[in-house]
Protein backbone atom coordinates (compact mmCIF):
# COMPACT_ATOMS: atom_id res chain seq x y z
CA UNK A 1 0.00 0.00 0.00
CA UNK A 2 1.47 3.27 -1.10
CA UNK A 3 1.39 6.01 1.47
CA UNK A 4 -1.24 8.29 -0.07
CA UNK A 5 -0.35 11.21 2.15
CA UNK A 6 3.24 11.09 0.98
CA UNK A 7 2.20 10.81 -2.68
CA UNK A 8 -0.11 13.75 -2.16
CA UNK A 9 2.75 15.83 -0.80
CA UNK A 10 5.16 14.73 -3.51
CA UNK A 11 2.61 15.48 -6.22
CA UNK A 12 2.00 18.93 -4.87
CA UNK A 13 5.74 19.53 -4.60
CA UNK A 14 6.21 18.44 -8.22
CA UNK A 15 3.62 20.92 -9.50
CA UNK A 16 5.19 23.69 -7.43
CA UNK A 17 8.56 22.81 -8.92
CA UNK A 18 7.11 23.13 -12.42
CA UNK A 19 5.64 26.53 -11.62
CA UNK A 20 8.96 27.54 -10.06
CA UNK A 21 10.71 26.45 -13.23
CA UNK A 22 8.70 29.00 -15.21
CA UNK A 23 9.80 31.78 -12.88
CA UNK A 24 13.40 30.61 -13.08
CA UNK A 25 13.33 30.48 -16.88
CA UNK A 26 11.83 33.94 -17.20
CA UNK A 27 14.35 35.45 -14.80
CA UNK A 28 17.31 33.77 -16.46
CA UNK A 29 16.25 35.01 -19.90
CA UNK A 30 16.05 38.54 -18.54
CA UNK A 31 19.40 38.27 -16.74
CA UNK A 32 21.25 36.65 -19.65
CA UNK A 33 19.99 39.01 -22.35
CA UNK A 34 20.42 42.06 -20.12
CA UNK A 35 23.97 41.18 -19.10
CA UNK A 36 24.98 40.72 -22.74
CA UNK A 37 23.06 43.74 -23.97
CA UNK A 38 24.39 46.07 -21.30
CA UNK A 39 28.02 45.13 -21.88
CA UNK A 40 28.03 47.40 -24.93
CA UNK A 41 27.59 50.30 -22.57
CA UNK A 42 29.49 48.99 -19.52
CA UNK A 43 32.43 47.08 -21.03
CA UNK A 44 32.75 48.76 -24.41
CA UNK A 45 31.76 52.14 -22.97
CA UNK A 46 29.55 53.11 -25.88
CA UNK A 47 27.01 55.79 -25.10
CA UNK A 48 23.37 54.81 -24.81
CA UNK A 49 22.46 58.13 -26.36
CA UNK A 50 24.43 57.38 -29.53
CA UNK A 51 22.97 53.89 -29.65
CA UNK A 52 19.40 55.13 -29.49
CA UNK A 53 19.66 58.37 -31.42
CA UNK A 54 22.28 58.18 -34.16
CA UNK A 55 21.89 56.64 -37.58
CA UNK A 56 25.32 55.37 -38.59
CA UNK A 57 25.77 51.62 -38.16
CA UNK A 58 29.44 50.79 -38.63
CA UNK A 59 30.42 48.74 -35.59
CA UNK A 60 33.71 47.80 -37.29
CA UNK A 61 34.82 51.38 -37.94
CA UNK A 62 38.29 52.00 -36.46
CA UNK A 63 38.91 54.46 -33.65
CA UNK A 64 40.50 56.94 -36.10
CA UNK A 65 37.12 57.38 -37.82
CA UNK A 66 35.38 57.85 -34.50
CA UNK A 67 34.30 54.19 -34.43
CA UNK A 68 32.86 51.90 -33.45
CA UNK A 69 29.68 53.57 -34.67
CA UNK A 70 26.63 51.78 -33.35
CA UNK A 71 23.69 54.00 -34.17
CA UNK A 72 20.66 51.71 -33.97
CA UNK A 73 18.07 54.33 -34.79
CA UNK A 74 17.52 53.07 -38.38
CA UNK A 75 16.51 49.65 -37.01
CA UNK A 76 14.29 51.07 -34.30
CA UNK A 77 12.64 53.40 -36.80
CA UNK A 78 12.33 50.54 -39.30
CA UNK A 79 10.61 48.30 -36.77
CA UNK A 80 8.25 51.06 -35.70
CA UNK A 81 7.42 52.04 -39.28
CA UNK A 82 6.81 48.53 -40.56
CA UNK A 83 4.70 47.51 -37.53
CA UNK A 84 2.61 50.66 -37.41
CA UNK A 85 1.96 50.53 -41.14
CA UNK A 86 0.88 46.89 -40.81
CA UNK A 87 -1.48 47.94 -38.05
CA UNK A 88 -2.96 50.78 -40.10
CA UNK A 89 -3.52 48.42 -43.02
CA UNK A 90 -5.16 45.61 -41.09
CA UNK A 91 -6.72 46.92 -37.85
CA UNK A 92 -9.95 48.29 -39.40
CA UNK A 93 -10.32 45.14 -41.45
CA UNK A 94 -9.73 42.83 -38.47
CA UNK A 95 -12.22 44.71 -36.32
CA UNK A 96 -14.71 44.57 -39.19
CA UNK A 97 -14.36 40.80 -39.38
CA UNK A 98 -14.74 40.61 -35.60
CA UNK A 99 -18.00 42.60 -35.82
CA UNK A 100 -19.20 40.30 -38.57
CA UNK A 101 -18.47 37.22 -36.47
CA UNK A 102 -20.14 38.44 -33.32
CA UNK A 103 -22.96 40.70 -34.60
CA UNK A 104 -23.86 40.10 -38.23
CA UNK A 105 -23.70 36.37 -38.68
CA UNK A 106 -22.51 34.32 -35.70
CA UNK A 107 -23.42 31.04 -37.42
CA UNK A 108 -21.31 31.85 -40.48
CA UNK A 109 -18.62 33.15 -38.15
CA UNK A 110 -18.39 29.92 -36.21
CA UNK A 111 -18.64 27.61 -39.17
CA UNK A 112 -16.40 29.39 -41.66
CA UNK A 113 -14.46 32.32 -40.25
CA UNK A 114 -13.35 30.61 -37.03
CA UNK A 115 -11.58 27.80 -38.94
CA UNK A 116 -10.26 30.36 -41.44
CA UNK A 117 -8.68 32.35 -38.62
CA UNK A 118 -7.22 29.20 -37.08
CA UNK A 119 -5.57 28.28 -40.37
CA UNK A 120 -4.18 31.83 -40.68
CA UNK A 121 -2.62 31.36 -37.23
CA UNK A 122 -1.30 27.95 -38.17
CA UNK A 123 0.60 29.01 -41.30
CA UNK A 124 4.26 29.26 -40.21
CA UNK A 125 5.94 32.63 -40.50
CA UNK A 126 8.59 31.46 -42.97
CA UNK A 127 5.79 30.42 -45.31
CA UNK A 128 4.31 33.92 -45.09
CA UNK A 129 7.80 35.21 -45.81
CA UNK A 130 8.18 32.90 -48.77
CA UNK A 131 4.85 33.95 -50.31
CA UNK A 132 5.83 37.56 -49.73
CA UNK A 133 9.12 36.94 -51.47
CA UNK A 134 7.75 35.00 -54.41
CA UNK A 135 4.49 36.91 -55.03
CA UNK A 136 4.37 40.25 -53.28
CA UNK A 137 7.92 41.46 -53.97
CA UNK A 138 7.74 40.86 -57.76
CA UNK A 139 4.24 42.38 -57.81
CA UNK A 140 5.43 45.58 -56.14
CA UNK A 141 8.48 45.71 -58.42
CA UNK A 142 6.44 45.32 -61.60
CA UNK A 143 3.33 47.30 -60.79
CA UNK A 144 4.16 49.89 -58.16
CA UNK A 145 7.86 50.57 -58.43
CA UNK A 146 11.22 50.22 -56.79
CA UNK A 147 13.02 46.94 -56.15
CA UNK A 148 10.05 45.28 -54.57
CA UNK A 149 11.99 44.56 -51.39
CA UNK A 150 10.52 47.34 -49.33
CA UNK A 151 8.87 48.72 -46.24
CA UNK A 152 5.54 48.20 -48.00
CA UNK A 153 6.19 44.50 -48.66
CA UNK A 154 7.17 43.97 -45.01
CA UNK A 155 4.07 45.77 -43.77
CA UNK A 156 1.69 43.79 -45.97
CA UNK A 157 3.19 40.46 -44.89
CA UNK A 158 2.99 41.52 -41.23
CA UNK A 159 -0.55 42.79 -41.71
CA UNK A 160 -1.72 39.35 -42.83
CA UNK A 161 0.18 37.73 -39.96
CA UNK A 162 -1.36 39.89 -37.23
CA UNK A 163 -4.89 39.78 -38.65
CA UNK A 164 -5.94 36.66 -36.68
CA UNK A 165 -4.65 38.09 -33.39
CA UNK A 166 -6.64 41.30 -33.63
CA UNK A 167 -9.73 39.64 -35.09
CA UNK A 168 -10.02 36.88 -32.50
CA UNK A 169 -9.33 39.06 -29.45
CA UNK A 170 -11.82 41.67 -30.70
CA UNK A 171 -14.44 38.99 -31.36
CA UNK A 172 -14.07 37.68 -27.81
CA UNK A 173 -14.39 41.18 -26.47
CA UNK A 174 -17.57 41.90 -28.45
CA UNK A 175 -19.10 38.59 -27.42
CA UNK A 176 -18.72 39.30 -23.72
CA UNK A 177 -21.01 42.35 -23.95
CA UNK A 178 -24.31 41.44 -22.38
CA UNK A 179 -27.38 40.96 -24.59
CA UNK A 180 -29.35 43.47 -22.56
CA UNK A 181 -27.28 46.35 -23.88
CA UNK A 182 -27.89 45.32 -27.50
CA UNK A 183 -31.58 44.83 -26.93
CA UNK A 184 -31.92 48.13 -25.11
CA UNK A 185 -30.31 49.94 -28.03
CA UNK A 186 -32.41 48.16 -30.66
CA UNK A 187 -35.57 48.74 -28.62
CA UNK A 188 -34.84 52.45 -28.65
CA UNK A 189 -35.09 52.28 -32.41
CA UNK A 190 -31.42 52.22 -33.32
CA UNK A 191 -30.42 50.25 -36.40
CA UNK A 192 -27.86 47.47 -36.10
CA UNK A 193 -25.12 49.70 -37.49
CA UNK A 194 -26.01 52.49 -35.04
CA UNK A 195 -25.95 49.95 -32.22
CA UNK A 196 -22.56 48.66 -33.31
CA UNK A 197 -21.08 52.12 -33.75
CA UNK A 198 -22.49 53.91 -30.73
CA UNK A 199 -23.00 51.16 -28.18
CA UNK A 200 -21.01 48.02 -28.86
CA UNK A 201 -17.72 49.43 -30.12
CA UNK A 202 -17.32 51.81 -27.15
CA UNK A 203 -18.22 49.01 -24.75
CA UNK A 204 -15.75 46.60 -26.35
CA UNK A 205 -13.01 49.20 -26.73
CA UNK A 206 -10.64 47.95 -23.99
CA UNK A 207 -10.75 44.43 -25.45
CA UNK A 208 -10.29 45.65 -29.00
CA UNK A 209 -7.38 47.83 -27.89
CA UNK A 210 -5.83 44.79 -26.20
CA UNK A 211 -6.10 42.90 -29.49
CA UNK A 212 -4.52 45.78 -31.39
CA UNK A 213 -1.60 46.02 -28.96
CA UNK A 214 -1.10 42.23 -29.06
CA UNK A 215 -1.02 42.45 -32.85
CA UNK A 216 1.48 45.29 -32.70
CA UNK A 217 3.64 43.29 -30.30
CA UNK A 218 3.57 40.31 -32.63
CA UNK A 219 4.51 42.50 -35.58
CA UNK A 220 7.36 44.04 -33.64
CA UNK A 221 8.84 40.70 -32.66
CA UNK A 222 8.43 38.88 -35.96
CA UNK A 223 11.80 38.18 -37.50
CA UNK A 224 12.15 35.93 -40.51
CA UNK A 225 9.06 36.77 -42.54
CA UNK A 226 9.98 40.45 -42.39
CA UNK A 227 13.65 39.88 -43.02
CA UNK A 228 12.86 37.93 -46.19
CA UNK A 229 10.93 40.76 -47.88
CA UNK A 230 12.16 44.01 -46.41
CA UNK A 231 15.40 44.33 -48.34
CA UNK A 232 17.73 44.72 -45.38
CA UNK A 233 19.40 48.04 -46.08
CA UNK A 234 20.58 50.21 -43.20
CA UNK A 235 18.74 53.47 -43.78
CA UNK A 236 16.07 55.55 -42.15
CA UNK A 237 12.63 54.62 -43.47
CA UNK A 238 11.64 57.52 -45.72
CA UNK A 239 9.82 55.80 -48.55
CA UNK A 240 7.32 52.98 -48.75
CA UNK A 241 9.09 51.48 -51.74
CA UNK A 242 12.65 51.46 -50.47
CA UNK A 243 14.36 48.69 -48.49
CA UNK A 244 14.90 49.12 -44.76
CA UNK A 245 16.13 47.08 -41.81
CA UNK A 246 14.34 46.24 -38.58
CA UNK A 247 15.65 45.31 -35.13
CA UNK A 248 14.85 41.67 -35.69
CA UNK A 249 16.21 41.55 -39.24
CA UNK A 250 19.60 43.00 -38.32
CA UNK A 251 19.94 40.42 -35.51
CA UNK A 252 18.96 37.62 -37.89
CA UNK A 253 21.44 38.75 -40.52
CA UNK A 254 24.48 39.65 -38.46
CA UNK A 255 24.45 37.57 -35.30
CA UNK A 256 26.12 34.60 -36.95
CA UNK A 257 28.71 36.68 -38.82
CA UNK A 258 30.12 38.35 -35.74
CA UNK A 259 32.36 36.98 -33.02
CA UNK A 260 31.09 36.91 -29.44
CA UNK A 261 32.69 39.56 -27.28
CA UNK A 262 33.36 42.06 -30.07
CA UNK A 263 31.69 45.47 -30.00
CA UNK A 264 29.71 44.56 -33.11
CA UNK A 265 28.32 41.44 -31.50
CA UNK A 266 27.60 43.25 -28.22
CA UNK A 267 25.72 45.95 -30.11
CA UNK A 268 23.45 43.26 -31.61
CA UNK A 269 22.74 41.96 -28.11
CA UNK A 270 21.84 45.50 -27.08
CA UNK A 271 19.28 45.53 -29.87
CA UNK A 272 17.94 42.22 -28.54
CA UNK A 273 17.73 43.73 -25.06
CA UNK A 274 15.82 46.70 -26.45
CA UNK A 275 13.46 44.30 -28.23
CA UNK A 276 12.84 42.51 -24.95
CA UNK A 277 12.21 45.78 -23.08
CA UNK A 278 9.74 46.88 -25.75
CA UNK A 279 7.85 43.59 -25.44
CA UNK A 280 7.65 44.19 -21.66
CA UNK A 281 6.24 47.63 -22.39
CA UNK A 282 3.53 46.08 -24.51
CA UNK A 283 2.55 43.71 -21.67
CA UNK A 284 2.42 46.53 -19.15
CA UNK A 285 0.31 48.57 -21.53
CA UNK A 286 -2.13 45.68 -21.94
CA UNK A 287 -2.31 45.20 -18.17
CA UNK A 288 -3.01 48.90 -17.83
CA UNK A 289 -5.84 48.78 -20.38
CA UNK A 290 -7.33 45.71 -18.73
CA UNK A 291 -7.17 47.14 -15.23
CA UNK A 292 -8.88 50.31 -16.42
CA UNK A 293 -11.50 48.25 -18.22
CA UNK A 294 -12.09 46.23 -15.05
CA UNK A 295 -12.32 49.36 -12.90
CA UNK A 296 -15.19 50.64 -15.02
Partner 1 sequence: MINARTSDKIATFIFYAMAVSVSLILLALVGFILFNGLRVINLHFLTSPPSAFRAGGGIGPQIFNSFLILILTMIFTIPIGLGAGIYLAEFSRENRWTRIIRICTETLASLPSIVIGLFGLLFFVTVLKWGFSLISGALALTVLNLPVMTRISEDTLRSVKNELREASLALGATQWQTIVHVVLVAAIPGLVTGVILTAGRVFGEAAALLYTAGITTPRLQFYSWNPFNSNSPFYLFRPAETLAVHIWKVNSEGLAPDARQIADGASAVLIIIVLFFNIAARWMARRLYKKTTGI
Region of 66-74, 94-102, 139-147, 179-187 interacting with partner 1 (CB under 8 A): 94-102
Distance CA 135, CA 144 (A): 13
Name which of 56 and 130 has its Cβ closer to partner 1.
130
**Non-local CB neighbours of 4 within 8 Å, separated by 6+ positions:** none
Query: Per CB under 8 A, does 288 bind partner 1?
Result: no
Cis status of the peptide bond prior to 68, with omega within 30 of 0: yes
Q: How many CB atoms lie within 10 A of CB 227?
A: 20
Which residues from 199-218 bind partner 1, rule CB under 8 A? 217
Q: Which residues of 166-180 are buried (b: 16+ CB within 10 A; e: fewer)?
A: bbbbbbbbbeebeee
Query: Per CB under 8 A, does 293 bind partner 1?
Result: no
Helix (H) or strand (E) holding 70: strand 69-70
What is the closest distance, in whole angstroms, from the C-beta atom of residue 62 to partner 1 in the complex? 27
Helix axes 4-42, 263-295, angle to 10 degrees: 120
Rule CB under 8 A: choose which of 43, 48, 53, 123 binds partner 1. Answer: 123
Rule CB under 8 A: choose which of 70, 269, 270, 289 binds partner 1. Answer: 269
Distance CA 192, CA 198 (A): 10
Region of 38-46, 51-59, 91-99, 199-207 interacting with partner 1 (CB under 8 A): 91-99
Region of 118-126, 147-155, 178-186, 288-296 interacting with partner 1 (CB under 8 A): 118-126
Q: Which residues pair with 70 in a beta bridge?
A: 57
Distance from CA of residue 6 to its chain's centroid?
46
x-or-dash string of contact with partner 1, 2-41, rule CB under 8 A: --xx-xx-xxx-xxxxxx-xxx-xxxxx--xx--x-----
Q: How many CB atoms lie within 10 A of CB 16?
A: 10
Query: Per CB under 8 A, does 187 bind partner 1?
Result: no
Number of chain positions touching partner 1 (CB under 8 A): 83
Rule CB under 8 A: choose which of 196, 203, 204, 244 binds partner 1. Answer: 196
Which residues from 249-268 bind partner 1, rule CB under 8 A? 251-252, 255-256, 260
Amino acid sequence: MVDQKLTNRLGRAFTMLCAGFIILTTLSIIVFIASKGLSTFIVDRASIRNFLLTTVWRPDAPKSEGGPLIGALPFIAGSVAVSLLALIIIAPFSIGVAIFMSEISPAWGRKILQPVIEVFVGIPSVVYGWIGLSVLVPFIRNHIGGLGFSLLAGSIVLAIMIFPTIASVSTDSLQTISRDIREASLALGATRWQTIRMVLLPAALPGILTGVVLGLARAFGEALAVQMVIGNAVRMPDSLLKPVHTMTSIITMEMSNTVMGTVWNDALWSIALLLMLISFMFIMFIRFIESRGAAK
